[in-house]
Amino acid sequence: MPPVSVITPVYNGERYVAEAIESVLRQTHRDFEYIIVNDGSTDRTPEILEQYAARDGRVRVIHQANIDQPATLNRALAEARNEWVAVLDADDVCMPHRLEAQLRALRREPSVRVLGAYAIRIDERGREMGLMASQPTSVSEYKEMVARGESVTLIHPSAMMHRQTILSLGGYDPDFGPAADSELWSRVADQHLIMSLPEPLLYYRSHPASMSATRFFEQRTLLRWIQARQQARRQGLPVPSLEEYREACCGRKLRISPPPRGLGRVFEGYQPAGVANGPAAAGPVDAGCGGDPRPFRQKAGWRPGAGVTYHPAPFE
């Protein structure tokens, strides 16, 4: 199987970053480089990163002044040397077979340009809270979703991306801040195949200091704007600016049809299960994203009653 570049942006991640790094170093697929970009951390993060770089030659640390996460991800993509790039946030944990499982899936479906996976949501202490699911999980489902005008979603830190495809599209757009991953997927999905493996390959951590918790309201507006922009592109209409979108939300006309149901089910790039880690957080139900969760529970050794987290759509 081919070598992989793993990238992790980190800002003041001293509490969890070592656990994230260890999960990469324990991968069953051993042929990788690990690029960690320290985005101007002021805690012990730089010291921790340098210790790992000294211990393992696959770890490459880049230090920079703080420029926010999307721009940091672009820096990491530019530094990557391999065709496929796997993303991992500094507070999440890869399952040991993650890279191997995704590479095998890409061998089976060579037309896929971005491949995600399901995840198990954990809290700040590492306690399991639910299974996080995303769509589509097959080529046929991707085509059906696009035909219906639905948004394709991924759990961002589970993504493995074809580097040249992402770079040719301009990478992450920093203007979209905490929703930059969802905006990127919207552009990729307009031209290329995106899907997720229907099995958990990641532990996704939700905690009060996460970007999804601290920038929830900003993210919610941006996610809705991303949907409006994608609809406009698909209908051959001018793409609305943020100001135009806000005017439309205030009752003024914008020539975009009502957003389809389903947007927001797994806005996962910087967002934990549920719309937020706050007052609008969702509870577990028996089927995430309309699928049958039983095969995934069985494979993950799921406990009865643990549930699958559903992500309510802001338009539903």
End of a domain among 92, 117, 137?
Answer: 92
Q: Among 45, 67, 92, identify where a domain stops.
A: 92
Residue 145 in any domain: the answer is: yes
In a domain, 102, yes or no: no
pLDDT of residue 247: 74
**Which of 64, 92, 120 is the C-terminal boundary of a domain?**
92
What pLDDT score does 195 carry? 95
Residue 101 in contact with residue 197, Cβ under 8 Å? yes
Give the count of domains, the chain: 2
Q: What letter represents residue 115's amino acid?
A: L
Amino acid at residue number 250: C
Per-residue confidence (pLDDT) for residue 315, from 0 to 100? 26
In this structure, is residue 296 part of a structural domain?
A: yes
User: Do 36 and 121 reside in the same domain of the chain?
Assistant: no
Nearest to 75 by CA among 137, 155, 128, 10: 10
CATH number where 16 lies? 3.90.550.10
* 270, pLDDT greater than 90: no
Q: Which pLDDT value is given to residue 266?
A: 34
Q: Do 146 and 284 lie in a common domain?
A: yes
**103 domain-assigned:** no
- With contact defined as beta carbons under 8 Å apart, do 186 and 234 qualify? no
Q: At what angle do helices 180-191 and 69-79 cross, to 10 degrees?
A: 50
Q: Is residue 300 part of a domain?
A: yes
Encoding tokens for residue 237? 């209409």
> 62, 92, 64, 99: which is closest to 80 by C-alpha?
62
Measured distance CA(74)–CA(174) in Å, rounded: 9
pLDDT of residue 37: 98
Report the percentage of the chain scoring pLDDT > 70. 75
**13 and 123 co-located in one domain:** no
**Other CB atoms within 10 A of residue 282 CB:** 15
Do 168 and 276 sit in the same domain of this protein?
A: yes
Report CA-CA distances (Å) from 117 to 6, 146, 154.
Answer: 15, 19, 8
Q: How far apart are the C-alpha atoms of 132 and 91, rounded to whole Å?
A: 16
Please report which residue ranges of 56-162 form alpha helices under DSSP H. 69-79, 98-108, 139-147
Tens digits of residue pLDDT in 169-204 = 999 998 888 889 989 999 999 899 999 999 999 999
Residues whose CB is less than 8 angstroms from the CB of residue 284 and which lie 6 or more positions away in sequence, other chains included: 130, 306, 307, 308, 309, 310
Residues 163 and 15 in one domain: no
The pLDDT value recorded for residue 21 is 98
In a domain, 98, yes or no: no
Predicted TM-score (pTM) of this structure = 0.74
Domain shared by 131 and 269, yes or no: yes
- Judgement on whether residues 72 and 139 belong to the same structural domain of the protein: no
Longest CA–CA separation in the chain, Å: 59
- Residue 40 scores a pLDDT above 70: yes
Count of residues in the chain: 316
Name the H helices within the chain.
17-25, 45-55, 69-79, 98-108, 139-147, 163-168, 180-191, 211-214, 216-235, 242-249, 294-299
* Residue 159 domain flag: yes
> What is the spatial distance between Cα 24 and Cα 7, in angstroms, rounded to a whole number?
10
The whole-number pLDDT of residue 313 equals 30
Q: Tell me which residue range forms the domain holding 154.
A: 109-316
Quick one: 73 and 211 in the same domain? no
Residue 41 lies in a domain: yes
Q: Is 115 found in the same domain as 177?
A: yes
Q: Judge if 63 and 186 occupy the same domain.
A: no
Is 118 found in the same domain as 38?
no
- Which segments of 115-250 does DSSP mark as H helices, in order? 139-147, 163-168, 180-191, 211-214, 216-235, 242-249
| C-beta neighbour count of 13 within 10 angstroms | 26
Q: Which of 208, 245, 205, 249 is nearest to 225 (CA)?
A: 245
Each residue's pLDDT tens digit, 50-72: 999 999 999 999 999 999 899 99
Residues 6 or more apart whose CB falls under 8 angstroms from that of 128 comprise 120, 121, 122, 303, 306
Range 15-19, long-range pairs (CB < 8 A, 24+ positions): 15/91, 16/90, 16/91, 16/92, 16/205, 17/45, 17/48, 17/49, 17/90, 17/91, 18/48, 18/52, 19/93
What is the reported pLDDT for 68?
86
Decide: helix, strand or coil at residue 79. Answer: helix
Q: Are residues 315 and 179 in the same domain?
A: yes
pLDDT tens figures, 115-165: 999 999 999 888 999 999 998 999 999 999 988 888 888 999 999 999 999
